[in-house]
Structures are given as structure tokens and as C-alpha cells.
Structure 1
Amino acid sequence: MAIEPYLSLITSEHADKPNYMAWLSAILQKVDDSISVSNSIPSAFELDTAEGAQLDILGQLIGQPRDIGVPLTNNSSILDDDHYRLVLQAKIVRNQWDGTVGEIYDIWNAAFPGTQLALVDNQDMTMTANITNLEDNLAAELVTAGLIIPRPLGVELNVMASTSITSQEYIGSVVSGYDIVRLSVPS
């Protein structure tokens, strides 16, 4: 809202009075500022662009704290903004998941474009997720911690992730080149 259109509505009887126009401009500017702030709030809390404290507030609303409670490669369980955003997006999708395998693939493709996921129902209350081409070791740890892929209640998820990480510590072991990590997420 700009205040000029409202100032132009003042009749000629008062428009030439500088004190009146200054007083009216000050009041209208306060209203304009408050409207601008209230209009900026939704965009500040968009999940794709929020940072820092805004992400923390979104995490409270979504029900996923930044501290995931699982120590990661960097010996911290607190996520940076990019990985926290990924976990929040996955939490939202997991909460709306319809229970079908097809939607798991949709979730995966949205979270990790360029990586492949193959799910296998082992028919014994377990399922295996074969993941290839993960480039980020922290994202691989989030998958293995059960924070990305939804699973039915009572079903154990076995994750086999192949990464292209070279000479970095990955879940307690040093890998070089192409490595396959097998982990289980308990039911």
C-alpha cells in the first residue's frame, strides 16, 4: 500500500495545510508499514526459502525438531538449514503418505532428484531400500536414520545405500571410492 493515493483524496481545503498533511502522512505511513510487515510474514515462513529461526518455528509446527537425536558424521545431531529443510519436507510428506509404494517413489524423486531408489517387499514384515548415487553423506545418514523414506508401522526398513563419497568418514567407517552401506532401521 502506498500512501500517495490516499493523500491525493484530501480536499483542496486541507491539502495546502503542511501540518495537517504531515500529520496524515505520519499516520498513513504507520499503517502502510504494518501492512507491509504482515504481508511479508507468509513469505518468510515458506519452507523452500526459510532460514534459521524461521525453520525452527516451522519445525515446531510440523513436529520435527532440528536436533534429530542421532549423532551424525560430524558428531552432532543438529542439522544445518539445507538438511533440516529436507527432513521437514520429508516429515510433511510422510504425514500425508497414502501407504502406497508408488507415492514413496514420488517422495524420493522430489527429495533426491538424480538418485535412484528401488524398494523390495521381502514378504516377511521387512522391506529393503536400494539407493544409488547419493552424493551427500549426511543425506545418506538421514535416510538410514529413517527420517526420509516412509514405512508402514511394524515393518523393518533395510537400507542399502551406494555412495560416491571418497575418503570421508561415513557412519563410523572410512570409505574410499564407491562403497555400499547396509543398515537396518528397526520397526
Structure 2
Amino acid sequence: MAELSDFTELITSEHAGATKFVATIEASVQAFVDQINVAESAYSYYDLDNAVGTQLDAVGLWVGASRLIKLPVNVYFSFDEDGVGFDQGIWWEVGDALNVVTSLDDDLYRLFIRAKILCNMWDGTLPAAIEIIEIITDGTGVAISVVEGERSVSFTITGNVSTVIKSIIQEGYLPLNPAGISVSYSFVS
């Protein structure tokens, strides 16, 4: 952390007794000291572990991960089914989208950014892809099985995976797809 005394101590003994000179130097240098301190502390605001809100959005922008995720609508309003009455389902009309957009909370977004960073550094190997899927499922104890075919790979993820995480994986927000290889994901609860 820079301090004003770091610079005023550099004044030679010839001018150290001149109070107006010292005051002028202090007034001139204070802005630079403030700028140095801001520059030295700015990285902590964008540290992935400490960032929140708009700082986390900036980190996500840098790595190519949006906070907004498209989710499929599974439950629609219905009079015929129990548990899907008023205030319990989404109204649907012809022409409405079959998906909704949700905004990730900071913790889930941070997890998604970590996985996206790994995707950006991914070497195209199967073990690395499995590691990325394990990270995005956040150690929930899911089992990942892989079936390799000719120019295709199928991932079966067994366990309790949230709808948001399923959407992140299936909708291609994590591009785990080597060139020329078709990749499919299935989930078993």
C-alpha cells in the first residue's frame, strides 16, 4: 500500500525545511498515491473467489460465460392435473417459447465460470471432459459413464442433478465437443 510519506521522504534535505514546497509536493503527489492504491487493490475485486454481482459478471464476460441460462419449461398450467393449478405452472399459448431464461445466483454462476475456464483450456481429451462435468455437478456424487462410438461420444450422468446444471450441460454452454465428434448427454435420476 503506497503512502504519501513514500514520496515526501525523497525530498532532499535542502528543501525539506521549506514547508510550502513540501505542501506543494504533498498536494501534487496525493492523487498518484490514491491511484497506485486503487490499482493495487483492483485485482481483488475481480478475483473469482471474492467477486460478487457486477464484478462476477465482468469475469464471466471475460471468459465467455453469461449469467442468463435458457431452461426448458417442464410444468405448464393445467386444470386436469393435481399440483399444477393456479400459481403452480406456466401459462402457454400457441407461439410462446418452450424455454424460459433464468439468471444464475452468484454461487452457481461462480461454479459455471470455473467450468467455462476449464472448457476454454480443454485439450479435447475424454478424461478432461469428465473432469469438467464433475466440476459443474459440484461433487454431488453423480456417476458419469461414457460410451465411445465411431465419431461419437455419449455421456450418461447418473444422480441428482439440478435442472439448471442439466441445461448448462445439454444446451452447449460448456462446449465439450471436439471437431467432427457428435456428443450426447443423458441424465438418469
Give me the TM-score of the superposition, normalised by structure 2.
Answer: 0.68
Deviation at 1:34, TM superposition (A): 0.5
Deviation at 1:127, TM superposition (A): 0.4
One-letter code aligned to 2:61: Q
Is the partner of 2:146 in helix, strand or coil? strand
> What residue in structure 1 maps to residue 176 of structure 2?
150
Which of 95, 102, 125 in structure 1 is aligned with 2:127?
Answer: 102
> What residue in structure 2 maps to residue 113 of structure 1?
139
> What residue in structure 1 maps to residue 30 of structure 2?
29
> What residue in structure 2 maps to residue 90 of structure 1?
115
Is the partner of 2:70 in helix, strand or coil? coil
**After the TM superposition, which residues 47-86 of structure 1 pair with which residues of structure 2 at under 5 Å, given as runs?**
47-70=48-71, 76-86=101-111
Give me the TM-score of the superposition, normalised by structure 1.
Answer: 0.68
Number of residue pairs matched?
161
Equivalent-residue separation in structure 1 for 2:156 and 2:173 (angstroms): 13
One-letter code aligned to 1:80: D
- Structure number with greater Rg is 2
Equivalent-residue separation in structure 2 for 1:151 and 1:72 (angstroms): 25
Which ranges of structure 1 fall in alignment gaps of 5 or more residues?
A: 162-179, 181-187
Deviation at 1:5, TM superposition (A): 3.1
Shift of the 77–114 alpha-carbon distance from structure 1 to 2, 3 Å rule, reads closer
One-letter code aligned to 1:27: S
Shift of the 99–108 alpha-carbon distance from structure 1 to 2, 3 Å rule, reads same
Equivalent-residue separation in structure 2 for 1:86 and 1:47 (angstroms): 10
**After the TM superposition, which residues 129-168 of structure 1 pair with which residues of structure 2 at under 5 Å, given as runs?**
129-132=156-159, 134=161, 138-148=164-174, 150-152=176-178, 154-161=181-188
What percentage of residue pairs aligned between the two structures are identical?
Answer: 29
Residue 69 of structure 2 contacts residue 102 of structure 2 at CA under 8 Å; is this kept in 1?
yes
Shift of the 69–139 alpha-carbon distance from structure 1 to 2, 3 Å rule, reads closer
Shift of the 145–131 alpha-carbon distance from structure 1 to 2, 3 Å rule, reads farther
Residue 145 of structure 2 contacts residue 157 of structure 2 at CA under 8 Å; is this kept in 1?
yes
Shift of the 108–17 alpha-carbon distance from structure 1 to 2, 3 Å rule, reads same
Residue 8 of structure 2 contacts residue 26 of structure 2 at CA under 8 Å; is this kept in 1?
yes
Equivalent-residue separation in structure 1 for 2:121 and 2:16 (angstroms): 57
